[in-house]
């Protein structure tokens, strides 16, 4: 089974930077375990800087959600099957990431993602993603 990059180009998503999401991250071990691998939690969410952790978690969550939604008809994925290997971003919510599918039936499938902020309000940020196979 293969995943086509055509389905992943130009996805836009809403991410909410709310106290509810922050408290969900802080209090829900189950949420963290479901959406983020052990490696992702250690690399991206283990900072003393709470705001950075929230931003990283939001970006990881949104990126995984985009990949899952884009590939769902072709390849149903659970959150732990989408692994973010690298994440680089600036304070203006633009950046890049490297993602791979961690499933036995699709070894070596990787994606490079670039994202940028296209709108921002008090409680949400709209990001535009350009995700292509690498």
Name residues whose C-beta falls within 8 Å of residue 132's C-beta, 6 or more positions apart in sequence.
5, 8, 9, 111, 112
Give the global pTM. 0.73
Q: Please check whether residue 94 is in contact with residue 118, taking contact to mean a CB–CB distance below 8 angstroms.
A: no
Residue-wise pLDDT tens digits, 66-105: 888 878 778 888 888 888 889 898 877 788 888 888 877 7
CA-CA distance, 34 to 13, in Å (whole number)?
20
CA-CA distance, 4 to 59, in Å (whole number)?
22
Residue-wise pLDDT tens digits, 110-133: 888 888 776 665 555 666 777 777
Domains and CATH numbers, the chain: 5-133 (3.90.470.20)
3-state secondary structure of 72: coil
Q: What is the pLDDT of residue 122?
A: 54
């Amino acid at each position: 089974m293969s995943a086509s990059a055509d389905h992943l180009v130009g996805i836009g998503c809403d991410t909410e930077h709310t106290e509810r999401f922050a408290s969900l991250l802080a209090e829900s071990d189950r949420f963290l375990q479901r959406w983020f691998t052990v490696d992702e939690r250690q690399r991206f969410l283990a900072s003393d800087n709470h705001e950075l952790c929230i931003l990283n978690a939001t970006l990881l969550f949104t990126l995984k959600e985009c990949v899952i939604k884009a590939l769902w008809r072709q390849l149903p994925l659970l959150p732990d099957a989408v692994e973010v290997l690298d994440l680089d971003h600036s304070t203006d919510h633009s950046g890049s990431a490297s993602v791979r599918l961690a499933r036995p039936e699709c070894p070596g499938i990787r994606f490079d993602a670039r994202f940028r902020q296209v709108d921002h309000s008090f409680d949400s940020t709209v990001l535009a993603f350009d995700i292509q196979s690498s």
